[in-house]
Amino acid sequence: MKLQKNYLIRGKIVCETGMHIGGVSESLKIGGTDSPVIMNRMTNMPYIPGSSIKGKMRSLLELKHGTPWLMDNGEPHKCNNRDCSLCITFGRSADKEVSSGPTRLVVRDSHPTPETDEMWKKKDDILHGTEIKGENYLNRLTSMATPRFIERVPAGSAFGFEMVFSIYEPADEDRLKLVFEAMTLLEDNYLGGYGSRGSGKITFSDIELLEKISDDYKTGKDWRPYEKVSGAGSAHEILERL
């Protein structure tokens, strides 16, 4: 087994609604919110960890495909099948003995685009890229409202995303479709917390699918557009052409 080719998938994750990717609670601090957004410690601005994107994509595929990818006990999928495309694409837990080569998909952390940085700075009600959303929950018997406060990245924010998908064997070309299938499933679901209450609707936009063959790493040739999907910029358009 050796590397044949890499694909680079990049573009923007656009927040159609506010989005909450949870950080560590700071509620013990005075003025802290109950549910903060995860921050980049260098810039003090929100970011979306690659693991959050990848984990959500994987879980949506498990739910969509059902058994054997969806485990009876609802735990994340694990298996000993060396041909399992889910494990090959998204990774296998280290305690499994079977080997099917390296995990094909790498998902980088997504950071705000320069335009989004500007937009956040201009708005007074946005601090460190987040807005505070108050929610009440009602005592069912007394109707007494208890407020809580969650931080959200405001609607309209965009993050640059990047994924690399590696081809080691011919069957991997088909597994690339799983990545785009998961992206379209994610667009119709949500990223982060509070999704069933309206947060976290995202769109992948301005997607580019680029390729580099193994020899390009020897000659230094740069990424080039993957011709087969030229003109397609959304996840479903690319999936249709793959």
Give Cβ neighbours of residue 233 (< 8 Å, ≥ 6 apart): 11, 205, 206, 207, 208
Nearer residue to Zn ion within complex by CB, 79 or 213: 79
In terms of DSSP H, where are the helices of the chain? 50-65, 85-90, 114-122, 172-187, 216-219, 235-241
Nearer residue to Zn ion within complex by CB, 84 or 179: 84
Q: Footprint of Zn ion on residues 86-145 (CB under 5 A)?
A: 86-87
**What is the tally of helices (H) and strands (E) in the chain?**
6, 10
Nearer residue to Zn ion within complex by CB, 25 or 93: 93
In the complex, least distance from residue 84 CB atom to Zn ion, rounded to whole angstroms: 3
Nearer residue to Zn ion within complex by CB, 32 or 68: 68
In the complex, least distance from residue 104 CB atom to Zn ion, rounded to whole angstroms: 13
Q: Output the CA–CA distances (angstroms, integers) from residue 156 to 113, 131, 135, 218, in the order listed.
A: 11, 12, 21, 41
Contact pick of 3, 45, 70, 79 for Zn ion (by CB under 5 A) = 79
In the complex, least distance from residue 211 CB atom to Zn ion, rounded to whole angstroms: 26
User: Coil, strand, or helix at residue 118?
Assistant: helix
Query: What is the full DSSP assignment across 4-21?
Result: -EEEEEEEEEEESS-B--
Total interface residues for Zn ion by CB under 5 A: 4
Give Cβ neighbours of residue 118 (< 8 Å, ≥ 6 apart): none
Measured CA to CA, the distance from residue 172 to residue 195 in angstroms comes to 32
Measured CA to CA, the distance from residue 125 to residue 19 in angstroms comes to 16
In the complex, least distance from residue 90 CB atom to Zn ion, rounded to whole angstroms: 9
Nearer residue to Zn ion within complex by CB, 58 or 111: 58
DSSP label at residue 23: -
CB-based closest residue to Zn ion: 84
In the complex, least distance from residue 167 CB atom to Zn ion, rounded to whole angstroms: 19
In the complex, least distance from residue 60 CB atom to Zn ion, rounded to whole angstroms: 15
DSSP label at residue 180: H
Judged by CB under 5 A, which stretch of 36-44, 85-93, 161-169, 195-203 contacts Zn ion? 85-93
By CB under 5 A, residue 84 contacts Zn ion: yes
Nearer residue to Zn ion within complex by CB, 3 or 79: 79
Interface residues toward Zn ion, by CB under 5 A: 79, 84, 86-87
